[in-house]
Amino acid sequence: MAAGDVFQEGPTSIADLGFLDVKAAASGEVVIHNVYVPLDIDVEFYYYDGTNSILFDADAVDGTRFMVNWHVTDTTRVRVKNVSGGTVFLAADGIVTK
In a domain, 57, yes or no: yes
Query: Is the pLDDT reported for residue 23 higher than 90?
Result: yes
Provide the residue type at 90 as one letter. Answer: L
Q: Which domain holds residue 69?
A: 18-79
Q: Summarize pLDDT for 38-97 with one digit per residue, the tens.
A: 988 999 999 999 999 999 998 766 778 899 999 999 999 999 999 999 999 999 999 999
In a domain, 65, yes or no: yes
- Cβ neighbours around 68 below 10 Å, total: 16
Give the model's pLDDT for residue 64: 84
Give the model's pLDDT for residue 88: 96
State the Cα–Cα distance between residues 96 and 10, nearest whole angstrom.
Answer: 16
Q: How many domains does the chain have?
A: 1
